[in-house]
Structures are given as C-alpha cells and as structure tokens.
C-alpha cells in the first residue's frame, strides 16, 4: 500500500480507533492533509508516499503560505499534523525515514506582555 490517499485514510482510522480522537480532531487532521492532493496534481507528482520527500514537503509548505495565504500559526498546526502523520507512517514501516524531521515550523511571534494597572 503506497498510495497516499489510502494511507491517509488508514492514519485517520488509527487516530479514531487507537487514539480515540474526537470528531473535531479527525476533521482538523483531514482538513490539514487534504490540500496535499491538490498540490500533487498541480506539481504533476503521483499521489504516492514515496513522492513525499523533504524537498517536496518544503515546497508544499511554501505553496500553502504563498498561494493559499496561510498564516504562520496555521502553518505550524499543519506541520504538526504532518509530523504526526509521518510518525505513524514510519511506525507502520511504510517509510524507513521521516521526511519531516528536518522541517522546522515558522517561529512564534514575540508577544508583548500586557500589564494591568491597579486602580484602588
């Protein structure tokens, strides 16, 4: 089984059955993984797991930011989703190495603390 859509379905079943993920969590994972099919069609890459190399995944995340206008926080969530997915893929021995291990999420912005003033 090397077809990407089949492995994504298996991953979602794994989350539902073995990890007892909520319906909202499953919907979020499905939503995070779905645009990958569109990207593969645009890039003219077969929808196979072997095509998901680190360089291809980097191009995919750049595509999400530039073409889809994804904000850094949303991109971080998608990267975390893909980390979970590839952890599953390696654990199930569909791939020997995790192509996500060298991909870093965008940094979180520094937040300025808000101070409250006591009026008493």
In a domain, 77, yes or no: yes
Residue 76's domain comprises 4-91
Domain count, the chain: 1
Domain assignment present for residue 41? The answer is: yes
> What is the reported pLDDT for 26?
97
CATH of the domain at 10: 1.10.150
DSSP codes, 47-62: SBGGG--HHHHHHHHH
pLDDT digits (tens, 9 = 90+) for 16-64: 999 999 999 999 999 999 999 889 888 888 888 888 999 999 999 999 9
β-partners of residue 3 are 48
In a domain, residue 44? The reply is yes
pLDDT (0 to 100) of residue 82 = 97
pLDDT tens profile 79-97:
999 999 999 999 999 999 9
> Model pTM?
0.85
- pLDDT value for 79: 97
């Amino acid at each position: 089984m090397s077809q990407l859509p089949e492995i994504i379905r298996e991953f979602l079943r794994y989350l539902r059955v073995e990890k007892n993920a909520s319906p909202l969590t499953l919907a979020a994972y499905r939503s995070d993984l779905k645009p990958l099919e569109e990207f593969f069609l645009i890039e003219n890459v077969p929808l196979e797991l072997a095509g998901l190399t680190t360089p291809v995944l980097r191009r995919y995340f750049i595509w999400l930011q530039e073409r889809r206008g994804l904000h850094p926080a949303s991109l971080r969530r998608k990267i975390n989703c893909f980390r979970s997915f590839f952890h599953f893929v390696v654990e199930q021995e569909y791939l020997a190495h995790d192509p996500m291990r060298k991909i870093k999420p965008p940094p979180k912005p520094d937040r300025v603390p808000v101070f409250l003033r006591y009026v008493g």
